[in-house]
Structure 1
């Protein structure tokens, strides 16, 4: 704008009228590109939350729920065409849709389509959520006139604004999904969409088709999931980048997602999956999180998963209480609906019809205090070892007559598995003696170690070394599928010709679930210690019981599969007990002989190892072991 006298004189000399200059200034301002701004930046600068739809009315603040920022700004990424959000309730997913709408109305005008499951829900969304946002956000108020205003040209389901328009549609109405081309397609609660919009076909595909003519189109799909195998949002999530919100452990600094399987009810903490520390909700939520993608190269379709454990509006104590209520309903009345709703709306995960499994609470509740390393009744020790990227996980199990079992120790050895000294630590650990209250002791009779993972070569080299030392330590490799026995076959088909047992892992899981459901002490019963130093905490028990048998129908026939339960529960304890069980099956002990030796205080493992003959040994301990 010309204000100074020299500028006025210069304009007069050029023969340009002052009003003309002002006009050109307005035109330049109107056609100039707006400053670069993301959806989250727009929301922080302009958005106002309405009192009737938010418990925290007033200025929007993305930092209130920082996991929302990356999702909002994915909309602005030119490499990203689709944004998928599979989430629980109470994480602000509807606000993500509203912020995107506000951004495109005010900052980057475009034709917008918002699809709700039904026309009635579309009307409710327009009246109860969209209209209050427009009314209370000054940047929008002057651009979208009220539907009741005279000559506004707007209705509840269709609103115009400078440079664009917004249409609210129902997935059950083919007419509302037809005609207008749109650039921004926002699809809410897609798991509640009908399979077909009338006779026109899948409403998601119909909405997507409307965006075809726009090179810079955006498709945003949001929903709480429902039934596994039928959930549309899960199918969309799995074909995207699969990003989880992760936070660093306040103790060890390693990033990890919020997982129900690591929540401890007793002290309302979440256990770090790396260092094992129990950390409070407040301490976890004070950490600066980030999304970690399973498939970071899938940039065109970014998919995000969120659960209520990350929400600033829902506390863990309340989540635990709701879980217990759902669990009580399931136990007392056999009603799965409350638990199904809890899985969908709290964990943001699909519900899957499952077979019977053991109950976590009953196993946790029956733990007992051990007065010595080995309780009376156990006469032989075996070990299972799982090889992880930065550690060994180990379980030592005691066994008695009828395969009654005692969890002796669940432990971890951390280290660099590329280095030989880390494997030496494992060997030393497996050489330890464990004592009865009487003072007599046992060594571990047989160990099974998983040869899969990233350190197969190192594992084979170590196993070869153990063979030379005549130690009963065997590699194992799992094979899924029904009808395969736990000890399927012995193979030496590997680069170092070491002995590797092929395990029928599904059979092992069947055996374990049967034993976990045994309620009377004696054959098959599983004992677990409550002693804090043994490692058998809630996380272990949940991990032991982390999978369930599910019957699927495939090609008209029932097919049994073992699947992980919801909640991100890690299944290492289950694998370890399978390996430890395989070890005792390999030994096939003579219980009567071993009971007499233990009663006499004889540590039968301290005898000299037998020479290799290539034949089966027939000693009490060694029957079934090929040396």
Structure 2
């Protein structure tokens, strides 16, 4: 409490907190990171705004956020419904008023220190030392007519940072450093320019993927692959599993595709899946690797999946639940504890469930598939594949490739007229894409997105060594494997217990 009022703070995930107390003034921070629904009771922003309705025209609702993805960004939607104010500054040469745009910032290639802004009116270069006077002479101007005349919106990028803060030179350095990585460019546009990122979800041509299949010894892990994950999709009459190898920069190789006949009601199907966890794949450098982590979908017959996962141990098996939407703070969240059944007995909080934003990993996969690949001549001269490159083996069949690109991202309109992005199937079967998403989630859960360079080097050192004995989950040069009980998470790495 303070003189004249009270400050109430709550989280965007708490429906009770968002609707509990009427408030005349509401401040909503980083709205693009809010979950799609608060406790399954609806949009957090709508719930919060409803708290101010009692105060009618006297209320004020203030929304602030770094934008995220076009078509899904809450702050973009609110800004476009406003009068869209920009901060106009005068040119020190001709006096023309303009708002700063990144494409007017120019520099000599490879020399960020030469960055200067070019006026829209006279095209004269403007040195950054002029920025202080420009900001002092600036003013906010509306650039659109608001749908609601009581709504105003403001946009400001890092180009306006005062002298001594983020300089144009540092902005250019960040831009140049981001080249070659969609994720880095996305972060630059979101955080530096304050712009939304446009996801390109057009499905790649499966025939083009067929033509660029690669040859390596069947059943082996190529040299760049440093650990294995698997994604399992449970169907009524089968369980499909894809095993992927992952290397630095999330470069990946499809190592194996397994179809286990019989659905979750067939005991032998689960036995075969258990056997797959024990299987090892030879690495090109001589070691043997087992699956570090398998992510299995719980969308069909979740109780059976929980029971099997519990029996194997959650160090190696991760039940997952896919959810739609890009506007999530993390592509994978959890685990949360759910009830499981074992031997006919219900076990409260007996299983661990991870939630996966499948839209994020589908879009990432399609971005990776569109990466420009080095030519044979480039490779002969020592060029490397870009981070994220997806390598498909020569043995992969047409049907699998069609499943791999079986969806596309489209923009649809809601009943209220708002645009949103939605993945739609181009064909009925999409198991290959689903398994890829689950295997990618398994890599995220294992920690690959957060590993330090030291950990990657540790993997490379071990796989480069001459193995004296292959033990549990691909560990190299260890004298004795751990006794077999529930599966150990120490699947690879001298330090053990990484996960």
TM-score of the superposed pair, with normalisation by structure 1: 0.39
Mark the structure with the bigger radius of gyration.
Answer: 1
